[in-house]
Amino acid sequence: MTAKFLQVDKITMDFGGVRAVDNVSFSVEPGEIVALIGPNGAGKSTVLNMISGTIPPLQGEIYYQGKPLSKLKGHEYSGAGISRTFQNLQTFDDMTVLENVMVGLHARTKSELFSCGIRSLSARREERSMREQALEWLEFVGLADLKDQLAGNLAYGKLKQMEIARAMVAKPKLLLLDEPAAGLNHSETLEMSKMFQKIKYLGTAILLVEHDMDMIMSIADRIIVLDRGKKIAEGTSSEIQANPKVIAAYIGEEKEEEPIQTSKKSSSQRVKKKTILSVKNIVARYGPVEVLHGIDLHVSEGEIVSLLGSNGAGKTTLLNCICGLHAAKSGTVEFNERDISKTSAEKIVPLGMAHVPERRQIFSTLTVEDNLYLGASHRLSRGSSQQIEKEIKDVYKLFPILEERKNQLGGTLSGGQQQMLAISRALLSRPSLLLLDEPSLGLAPLVGKEILEIVKRIRDEWGTTVLLVEQNARAALAISDRAYVLSTGKVLMHGSAEEIMNHPEIQSAYLGKSQTFVDSPEVQSADQVQA
């Protein structure tokens, strides 16, 4: 058997005791477009980083044209024919667009310091040829007329194209793309898809991590699905969309539906109460990229409301806008009938809103108990310490394991315990509204479920209102009264947990439009490019 072009052989990676990538194997053929997909925290970027040499795999090996990649140093990848782009743009802002692309030719050129300094004949000749090659690729991506602009002055979408030109100018055999469509609008994404088709027909294989399912379904020859670090499926777009394991990974297991009944009861017992949180027309951006395009949402007292949607839909950003960590471009946030859109995050906490950020963010060098005291810090000066001690005891009742480990350093806890600590710490600010960002992220399914059960207990016993962002839609809906589904920065639908659960469109919100999209005229235009 001849050696595969790219063979990923049982690679494994751990991050802080959590197995981020577990025994993953797959291969890429020359000139193929392969997509790596999976829910948040599935390990896609980690796999890509291992292939691009940013982090060496803990176990396993990656073979490129039959040779192990671990033999290559980071800067030798480009010369070997592997180029990449980055999830968060890594452009050289103080260079011109042309210069940026010329840097991409570094591995294919030789002029050294001295000949560059005296501008020797060979250095000048090489410089000219670099300029010509870079221009060719700028024309390919359609940026030739911007070549003398500083990269820092370019719009986000243009920079993404520039990164493609910078990667392609080295004539790679394999192009690694980390979320090429992130932050692009619909037409830019289509433009990008066409470009990838062209690149494919030039003979360069593409391995990409992407959240834009529509894009993946239309361009990928093969799709590999990861979930919690394991490969769970591999196949063509139609195979993947129909695969029950994939559907379960994205929106949760079917059998978890049972607890919905209980939550329905409890919600029906609740009479309509006053609105505690009201979000009107929130628009948010990161630099030039608009990620929320006008979101309306309200939460009533005593409710558990879920915010669902695939990666990149804007859930975390919305939560950060609400709790004051991210300044919204426009729109208002009212909390207990008070406008807090302009209030800074640390002043919102005393008003009764607590935020448990994604990936927990506990203070790993402090003990469990000190972490909890910090949660109460905004009233340490006024409130009696006995009162706080008593509340910490109450919290320990919710999470007995924390009491056992109260003198342990936060960083030594397991992922699930850290999540419990993060929630407890938030509870000690005595919130009337608790914002939870992906509490089950990176946890074993059972632990994640346990934590969500406790969230429900907190609401039922303490009366705390909860706004929950969760990847696992089924598990979240099981404890929620109502839910909003976000898609690319807009509210796609909202309704009671039951309505959302049974809505036919929820699957496509996570897994992209069904096969019919592929026949739409827009994608045909991408096909015409091939022809």
Partner 1 sequence: MKNIGKGIYVYLALVIFAPLLFQDDYYLSLLVITGIYAIVAIGLSIVMGLTGQISIGQAAFWGIGAYTSAVLTTKYEISPFLALIAAAIIPAVFAFILARAIAGLSGYYLAMATLAFGYIIQILISEWESVTGGATGMIGIPSIDFFGESELGMYYLVWGVVTVVLLFSLNLVESRVGRAFRAIHKSEIAATSMGIDVRKYRLLAFVVGGLFAGLSGGLYAHYVGTLDPQPFGFHESIVFITIVVIGGMTNIWGALVGTFVIEMIRAGLTSLSDTFPALSGDVDTIVYGAILVLIIMFMPEGLVPKIQSMVQSYKHRRSTATVVVQKNKERETAR
Closer residue to partner 1 in complex, CB, 94/254: 94
- CB neighbours of 13 closer than 8 A, spacing ≥ 6? 19, 20, 21, 43, 46, 50, 55, 57, 58, 229
Closer residue to partner 1 in complex, CB, 152/244: 152
Q: What is the DSSP letter of 72?
A: S
With CA atoms as reference, report the closest residue to 403 among 367, 453, 378. Answer: 367
With CA atoms as reference, report the closest residue to 17 among 400, 450, 443. Answer: 443
Closer residue to partner 1 in complex, CB, 128/245: 128
Q: How many residues does the chain have?
A: 531
Q: Is 412 helix (H, G, I), strand (E, B) or coil?
A: helix
Tell me which residues touch partner 1 (CB under 8 A).
52, 54, 73-79, 83-84, 86, 90-95, 99, 102-104, 106-109, 111-113, 116-119, 123, 126-127, 130, 166, 170
- Strand ranges for 374-470 from DSSP E: 433-437, 465-469
The first and second tokens of residue 293, run together, are 């395009």
CB of 142 to partner 1, least distance (A): 21
CB of 127 to partner 1, least distance (A): 7
CB of 185 to partner 1, least distance (A): 24
Rounded Cα distance, 443 and 422, in Å: 14
CB of 102 to partner 1, least distance (A): 6
Closer residue to partner 1 in complex, CB, 128/265: 128
Closer residue to partner 1 in complex, CB, 91/241: 91
Looking from the CA of 33 toward its CB, the CA atoms found within 13 Å total: 22
Closer residue to partner 1 in complex, CB, 48/322: 48
CB of 103 to partner 1, least distance (A): 5
Closer residue to partner 1 in complex, CB, 88/269: 88
CB of 65 to partner 1, least distance (A): 17
CB of 126 to partner 1, least distance (A): 7
- CB neighbours of 350 closer than 8 A, spacing ≥ 6? 378, 379, 429
Q: Are 388 and 468 in contact (CB under 8 A)?
A: no
Rounded Cα distance, 131 and 386, in Å: 72
CB of 166 to partner 1, least distance (A): 7
CB of 98 to partner 1, least distance (A): 10
Angle (CA) 336-338-339 rounded to 5° is 130
The first and second tokens of residue 187, run together, are 């037409």
338-339 and 82-84 beta bridge pairing: unpaired
291, containing H or E segment: strand 289-300
Closer residue to partner 1 in complex, CB, 90/524: 90
> How many angstroms separate the first and last alpha carbons of the chain?
32
Closer residue to partner 1 in complex, CB, 61/127: 127
Neighbours of 25 (CB within 10 A): 14
